[in-house]
Every structure is written in C-alpha cells, then in structure tokens.
Structure 1
Amino acid sequence: APVGEPRFGAWSEGWGRAATALLLDRHPDLDAVLCGSDQIARGVMDVLRERGLRVPEDVAVMGFDNWQVLTAASRPPLTSVDMNLEQVGRAAAHALFGAIGGVRRSGVETVRCRVVIRGSTAPLS
C-alpha cells in the first residue's frame, strides 16, 4: 500500500536524501520509492545504502527523466521514465512553425514515454 501523500521539495540529490531519511524514520518497512527526477533518486539511493538497505532487494527505486549521466553512473544503474524529450521538442517546433505559417490548432498532443528498466528495480517473481 502507498505510504502517505507525495512529498515535494527541491529537485536535487540533497532533497532526495532528506526526504528518504524522513520516510524511513516514519516507515521502516518501505519497499519502493518512485522519484520525480533522477537527481532525487540518486539521493534516495545514497540514504538507503547508508542505512544498510540494498537496492533493489530491500527497496526498489525509480527515477524520472532518464538522464544518462545519472542513470548509468548510479549503483545499481537507475530505472527511469524516459519522456521522449526529443520527440516532444520536434512536436513543439512543428506546432510553432505551423502557427507562424498561420495554421491554427488547439487541443492536447501526446507523446509516448517509456520506462527504461535497469538494476534499481526488480521484476516481480
């Protein structure tokens, strides 16, 4: 079951460390953390390791951004949501150039994202 409400703070490793310490103090049986950024997830994994918890065996961790410099350098490598920002940029540029050319449009355009599974999460057995 989810542990409380989402926590909000700075998008940094430092905030991830502080939030994780608070979560573990209140919920020592925590088994997974979903983070709003890869930076936060790195901070989460630091505190888990300091507390003697193994990722993913004791606590699974997932980031968001799929920022290669952070995901690949994490130990273990970080599972993360890839928002397909290259395609988002292309769609935005296409809409902008269309608007400049007089093509009006409205509504919501979606771009598919994906979860890139790495060592910080474990498959269900």
Structure 2
Amino acid sequence: MGTKHTRIADGDPTDPDDLLPEQSVLSLEEYLEMQAAIGNRTRFEIVYRLSHADELTPTELDSVLEIDDSTLHYHLNKLRDVGLIEKRVRTERDSDGLYTYYRATILGDVLLEHGVEELLRREWDFSEAYDSSET
C-alpha cells in the first residue's frame, strides 16, 4: 500500500490540540480514547450492532457475539466510559424479564460511520479501481 506524503497546509494547525475549538466539549485525549476503544474487534462489533439495531439487551448481544457474560460486560463498560454507548434501564421488566438495554450514542454512530465503516467502504472502491482482472 502506498504512502501519502503531505505537509500541513496553510491554515491548518501545526499542533493537533489546535484542531479542536476553544470551547470543545471533549479533549483531544477523550477523542483518542474513543478511537482506541472502537479499535478493539469486540467493541467495534458491539457499537456496530447497536448502531444498526437501535438498542439491544446484553442477552441479545451475547447471543450474536458468542462471548461470556463477564467479557461482554467488560467491553460494554469500556464503551460506556468513553461515551460511545449508553445504558437504558427500564423501571419494569419486559415480557422476557429484561430491563437493561444498550444503544450507540451520537458519538458512537458518527465515529463508526465516518471512521471505521468509511474506511471499510473505501476498501471496495480501492479494489475496484485497481482490479487488473477486468482488463
């Protein structure tokens, strides 16, 4: 894979901290923690499934991810800590006896859609553009 050699363009900040507005909601470190959290395969899959399913219970996540309960909750807590998912607790159990649900936050949806998913979609473009079997 080739490399892209560019310099910082005029008007772009030389310090990455300056990419954020002065009154930023989150710090650069917090954004990087989000990126690091979604960089784990299991956590990526959790955010992906929550983003595309609206909300799921831990039981539903466990059945599609096939991981043990303690591992699932470790990853759910990590994603909650960095703000990529949120937990909703019902005051009463539903018909299946479940009352805890998780869903992706707006930040989780955006990081997924404009980060990892975008890179994966571009992979299709790259392979089509450089496919020599079509000539």
Shorter-chain TM-score bucket reads under 0.3
Q: TM-score, normalised by structure 1?
A: 0.27
User: Which of the two has greater strand per residue?
Assistant: 1
Q: TM-score, normalised by structure 2?
A: 0.25
Which protein has the larger Cα radius of gyration, Structure 1 or Structure 2? 2
User: Which of the two has greater helix per residue?
Assistant: 2
